[in-house]
Chains A and B, each alone.
Chain A
Amino acid sequence: MVHRETVIPGEKISTKLKPGKNTYKEGNNIYSTIYGFKNKRNDTIEVLPIKSKYIPKKGDKVIGIVTDISFNNWFLDINSPYDARLPVSLHPEYIESGDLNQHIEIGDAAIIEIVEVDKELQADANMDGKELKKITQGTITQITPTKVPRVIGKNASMISMLKRETDCEIYVGQNGRIWINGEKQNIDKVTKAIQMIEKEAHKSGLTNKIKTYLKNNQQQEK
């Protein structure tokens, strides 16, 4: 990670390049729309947000928490201004309409996949597929969705290191919710590490730093 320049909304960031994510064009100039880091990608200029709300996108796998149940749908909060609707037909098992709360109750969490998002950003979800399931144990922690790539790392380096060092099962949802399962001590360690990643996401050499942190922790316990 190189040091990136912080830009603010309305700041001129380029005149020659193509406008990318979180930018707008006015005349010949390109301006940032958000508070974030300037990033040049080939001939495009984009801005990477520092904080953001999760906006449902087709194909994302997210962790939702059931807030409401209707006759044949579950409604899940996905850490976003918008709910996700999970129809009973997309649950892996066959369920009679009206028996929904016997399988997933209000307050339960599940890993789901967004299959469709309409104009009003209402998301339709699916729970029938690989990795998708109701969560029955472990802990869920939350970070700002923009930091998700940082927690996963290049070629999943950060996440596999976390799994290796702490012996936990970790699932990172695109919406910034992270499910951690393992021994209680280890869960606490991962949670702390993830908080560290979120705080220092804009710095480089993070994977090693976290690794050292986890190793030191283990020695203290012995």
Chain B
Amino acid sequence: MKTKQKPERFIDDEGKRVDGRNPDELRPVHIESGVLNRADGSCYIELGDNKIMAAVYGPREVHPRHLAEPDRAIVRYKYNMASFSVSERKRPGPGRRDKEISKVSAEALESAIFLEKYPNSVIDVFVEIIESAAGTRATSLTAASVACADAGIPMKDLIASCASGKVDDTIVLDVNEVEDNYGQADLPIAIMPKNEEITLLQMDGNLTRNEFEKAIKLAKKGCHQLYEEQKKALKTRYGGN
């Protein structure tokens, strides 16, 4: 696979993006829950070319013990990219970026979980990026929350997460690889869809205040669409309704 070049224009005369999507359109998404036998809860997600597996273990005993909190559970989130998940081989092991993503994702997930129900315990979330094509941190979180639900962990709500961005001065939903690499801005966001509480918000690039408002609004819309898919994945497993 060659590294993709910067296109001349991100949006053609018909208003279509490089991959033929409309500016407010998500990539095709597929979510499956309960795919691993060994884990307490698991989820596999595909969003465009992204392929991500999430596994949840817990609540379980905390080791090393000094990390335990006597009044609540802790969440350990490990975001890990397989070395073959990107076009240029990634050196295995957690780098600066992976650690940062793990931290913000753990905090995003924590806000949805009723931690006080399981004092002195840990909920371990492992996310493996098998193939990466922009938007992995958001997509991971979407999968992780389904895996947590599958593990039977009590939560206020699921967490749905996706990114919006800016290319050719147009706000677009769910940026793809080219748009992410050469675009003007990227804004991943995670929400609890029920009352649209934001649990993760990051940005790189530049947006004006108006563009920012618009980007948030669009990203939220994308999150709601993902939420429907998450719901479907969980509900159809036991006969559905």
User: What's the interface size class on B, roughly?
Assistant: 35 or more
User: What's the interface size class on A, roughly?
Assistant: 20 to 34
* CA–CA, A37 and B234, complex, Å: 12
- List residues 32-69 of chain A with CB under 8 A from any CB of chain B: 33-37, 49-53, 55
Segment among B3-11, B102-110, B147-155 that sits at the interface with chain A: B147-155
> Which residues in A have their C-beta under 8 angstroms from that of B150?
35, 51
Contact in complex: A33, B114 (CB < 8 Å): yes
- List residues 213-241 of chain B with CB under 8 A from any CB of chain A: 230-231, 234-235, 237-241
Contact in complex: A10, B157 (CB < 8 Å): yes
* CA–CA, A50 and B150, complex, Å: 8
Among B41, B120, B193, B234, contact of A6 (Cβ-Cβ < 8 Å): B234
> Which residues in A have their C-beta under 8 angstroms from that of B239?
3, 6, 202
- Closest-by-CB residue of B relative to A122 is B120
* B165 in contact (CB, < 8 A): no
> Which residues in B have their C-beta under 8 angstroms from that of A202?
238-239
Contact in complex: A5, B118 (CB < 8 Å): no
* A31 in contact (CB, < 8 A): yes
Contact in complex: A22, B154 (CB < 8 Å): yes
Contact in complex: B114, A81 (CB < 8 Å): no
A-binding residues in B (CB < 8 A): 40-41, 58-61, 70, 112, 114, 118-121, 149-158, 192-194, 230-231, 234-235, 237-241
A33-B114, A50-B152 are known; give 16 further A-B pairs, CB within 8 A.
A5-B241, A6-B239, A8-B231, A10-B157, A10-B192, A31-B156, A49-B152, A51-B151, A53-B40, A53-B59, A53-B152, A81-B60, A81-B61, A82-B61, A82-B120, A202-B239
Between-chain CB contacts (< 8 Å), 9 pairs: A8-B149, A9-B112, A10-B157, A10-B194, A22-B154, A31-B194, A35-B152, A51-B151, A55-B118
B-binding residues in A (CB < 8 A): 3, 5-6, 8-11, 22, 24, 31, 33-37, 49-53, 55, 81-83, 119-121, 146, 202
